Structure 1
């Protein structure tokens, strides 16, 4: 493990020369596993954890940690651990489905699906629409008098509710967005993305520079997409909300033996016998944001962070990533350059063959490319083209590689690699 970690950190030019060493003899090889999907990646980790606990004398769940570059990456592994009955604890953050933006987004979906009153109360003033406590009480009174939902009270009896002109305008935008989503024939993950744009939630997060929260919204979109792929017979919104109720209702207090989940930043100074570092895909770790904002210095800091993660393991280190399409980088996934940089000595690769930036990568998809990324019929991109993206905003093309564009967006989006014909991407007139 230390040989692999030392090989990695030697790639940094701005560092003090040092090599970690251990007095322990032997030691297990580092295992790197490439899964076909994020779901398979999480299942592989959970199965390996059960194998370690069941077959290694004296090992329990507290000897094991799962680390990730950013908190949104915990979503898939949390769902798998819950399904398998493996207790876990999140350190330095909330469980994925307990995060505010995730609860907000699910409330919008519940409002689309069944006009749920609790969902209405949660999102009616998020983003701000001038609906204060007294106005909400007025809506509740109208709903009670007519024995209808809060949403119907607002839409059918607005004349009985005292709203300012500004609030009327904002409420009209909200209602139009909800009804548009209800009528939508788009795949669920695309309907969700459009809903978050139409109600102003993405703009709210962008204006507040809440890039981590935007990542969580993208990860929830990935959850919806994964649901569609695995439920081709009935990928309805109602079925999706029922499917995730297991995770949203999982509020039990972790006690006794549990696996530790945390970001790498939280893991500094800690050690565990067995450590899993997941999500080692280019653009995720190293992070596109760090590379875009800080260039070579950002890359070296990301590499130092990887070194911290790799050296948290006392007995064995597991590194994982997956194939597919990233809704965060908006591009096909390839293995992190850090996997390539550690060399081949002391590391065993399993699963699919790692794919790095220098290799051509055609992602395996269960839906057609057109369904996944759309098609805006643009095939003449060049460096310097100005663009606008529905979520990332305005940017400029800095590199063209066949049908993949590297685009520098305004902060907080930063540098993104996107398919040239992504439906959310439009070329602007120079």
Structure 2
């Protein structure tokens, strides 16, 4: 980059021709990009001018938590789609892969078709399947979970050994794990694996916390070391997001590991959209060179974007992050929505605050969508108020739960509501003030 900036110093006879005209984005979008990049030092002075009109204002919104942010995005998408904008003309960009999790669940609950462009859906990612295989072993010990957990990390137990236990299990009409557990002549490696799984089961029976169990699995199984050795920071971020989800699931539902495994299976087993209309979800890096009529830039929180690790690891980190934000903004042709949230971030272990880039992007034509958000209140007060409101419900109402999906209200009490959810969850009693419960069709 310095070579380009200092090019005329190295070649004094050269002539610089600045290309100001932009044929992709409206002027309001370009004004946000121009304002942002001005904060980078040692840059070539260039402001883009649009070949188009000013266009729609860039819209910013800071929501209460990641669930509200996802529903806010879904609400804008539904409105635009009803107005005739194709799903194919809309894209959602984010700095880190783990941010797709909540959005994917909301889209599945609301039947909004989507694909992960250039990547995998959250529950299809290798590290998520690895951790879930251990949770499934603790929950019910199915054969597929055993084969995955016994091979990740590798334990020196080969296919011939597994085939032997498969035959033993078939003859005894038990699972492979039960066949291993009852084999007095098992090898040390098999016994070590069985002892590890039994220790996880005992830990959960005594502790009852899925969050704590996952941390123990990461340490005792060797998964954490495997991720760190491979410098797989992104995989660790995804696992931390899963831990946060597990904690919220238990805190909000009071359910245990069997129900959590069922919930993940329900979302993970849904078929991926392969044709027709769909929205593309992708990282900003994957979006380079692409353009869309409408872009949603989500997760605009300090530490996420600009990325905390990038800023700490390099003196030019913030400059590079700002250039990446510039790329994200200029993917939009006609509409740009920028969102952040004030919820707790389990990956960074802190409450979110809006990205510094939002302030840098603002200009006189930008708009802040503050519907339902009390800007005068602190994030903590706004967060607690979510748990003070009670949803107005009646028997036979159709509702959508963030984890259990669609259900029908059977009975409403003062503080709780009894709901019959679709298979495999069945009937459950939910607190009426749970923020992840909404009437079907209500995206507020």
Q: Give the TM-score range, shorter chain.
A: 0.7 to 0.9
Which portions of structure 1, spanning 4 or more consecutive aligned residues, are displaced by more than 3 angstroms? 351-355, 359-366
> How many corresponding residue pairs?
355
SS at match of 2:46: coil
Q: Any idea what the Cα deviations from partners look like across 1:246-278, whole Å, max 9, x if unmatched?
A: 321113342111101111011111111110011
CA contact under 8 A between 1:111 and 1:178: conserved in structure 2? no
Q: What per-residue deviation string (whole Å, max 9, x for no partner) do you get for residues 388-410 of structure 1?
A: xxxxxxxxxxxxxxxxxxxxxxx
CA distance in 1, matches of 2:382, 2:251: 12
Matched, 1:276 2:301: no
Contact 2:180 2:194 in 1 (8 A): no
1:205 alignment partner in structure 2: 227
178-187 or 117-126, which moves further after superposition?
Answer: 178-187
Give secondary structure in 1 for the equivalent of 2:207.
coil
Q: Work out whether 1:7 is the aligned partner of 2:32.
A: no
> Are the counterparts in 2 of residues 110 and 119 from structure 1 also a CA contact under 8 Å?
yes
TM-score for the superposition, normalised by structure 1: 0.77
Unpaired stretches in structure 1, ≥5 consecutive residues: 367-430
Shift of 1:45: 0.6
* Change in 2 beyond 3 A, CA 1:310/1:143: same
Q: CA deviation at 1:215?
A: 0.9
User: Matched residues in 1 for 2:261 and 2:354: separation?
Assistant: 32
For 1:134-172, what per-residue CA distance to the aligned partner results, in whole angstroms no more than 9, with x for missing partners?
Answer: 121122233233322222222232x233x2x4x257425
* C-alpha spacing 1:229/1:29, structure 2 compared with 1 (3 Å): farther
Matches within 5 A, 1:158-173: 159-161=184-186, 163=187, 165=188, 167=189, 170-171=192-193
Match of 2:56 among 25, 28, 33: 28
Give 1:103's aligned residue.
129
Q: Which of 248, 253, 270 is residue 226 of structure 1 equivalent to?
A: 248
Q: Is the Cα contact below 8 Å between 1:324 and 1:363 reproduced in 2?
A: no
Q: Report what 1:290 is aligned to.
A: 310
Shift of the 275–114 alpha-carbon distance from structure 1 to 2, 3 Å rule, reads same
Give the equivalent residue in structure 2 for 1:384. none
Provide, for residues 307-345 of structure 1, a one-character-per-residue CA deviation record: whole Å limited to 9, x for no partner.
Answer: 110111111101111112112111121111111222352
| Distance in 1 (alpha carbons) for counterparts of 2:154 and 2:93 | 35
Following the alignment from structure 1 to structure 2, what is the Cα–Cα distance between the partners of residues 302 and 193? 31
SS in 2 for 1:274: strand
Structure 2 match to 1:94 = 120
Corresponding position of 1:214: 236
Q: 1:13 to 1:258 in 2, by over 3 A?
A: same
Q: CA RMSD in A?
A: 2.3
Shift of 1:302: 0.5
Query: 1:184 and 1:321 mapped to 2: Cα distance?
Result: 38
Structure 1: how far apart are the matches of 2:196 and 2:151? 10
Matched, 1:324 2:352: no
**TM-aligned CA deviation for residue 115 of structure 1:** 1.2
Within 5 A, what are the aligned runs for 1:178-193?
A: 178-193=200-215
Structure 1 partner of 2:326: 307
State the 1:124 CA deviation: 0.9
Residue-by-residue CA offset, 1:165-192 (whole Å, 9 max, x unaligned) = 4x25742562244223431424322332
Of 46, 70, 78, which aligns to 1:42? 70
Supply the distance in 2 between the matched residues of 1:15 and 1:214 (Cα, whole angstroms). 35
Q: CA deviation at 1:114?
A: 0.9
**Could you say which structure has the larger radius of gyration?**
2
**1:62 and 2:82 correspond:** no
2-structure distance, mates of 1:153, 1:253 = 39
| Counterpart mapping for 1:335-374 below 5 A | 335-351=354-370, 352=373, 362=380
Q: Deviations over 1:5-63 (max 9, x none)?
A: 111110001321111111222311111111111111111111110101102x4x21111
Contact kept in structure 2, 1:333 and 1:363, CA below 8 Å: no
The answer to whether the aligner puts 1:238 opposite 2:258 as a matched pair is: yes
User: TM-score, with normalisation over the residues of structure 2?
Assistant: 0.75
Residues 169, 113 of structure 1: alpha-carbon distance in 2 compared, 3 angstrom cutoff: closer
Q: What is the DSSP-based 3-state SS (H/G/I as helix, E as strand, rest coil) of the residue aligned with 2:181?
A: helix
In the TM superposition, residue 99 of structure 1 has moved relative to its aligned partner by 0.9
1:25–1:172 Cα change, 3 Å = same
Match of 1:149 in 2: 175
Contact 1:31–1:349 under 8 Å retained in 2: yes
CA deviations over 1:87-114 (Å, ceiling 9, x no partner): 1121111111111111111111111111
Distance 1:289 1:115, change over 3 A: same
Task: Check 1:217–1:364 CA distance in 2 against 1; reply closer, same or farther (3 A cut).
Answer: farther
Kindly indicate whether residue 285 of structure 2 is the aligned counterpart of residue 259 of structure 1: no
Gaps of 5+ in 2: 1-28, 385-444
Q: 1:31 to 1:225 in 2, by over 3 A?
A: farther
Residues 4 and 345, structure 1, Cα contact 8 Å, conserved in 2: no
Q: Which residue of 2 aligns with 1:125?
A: 151
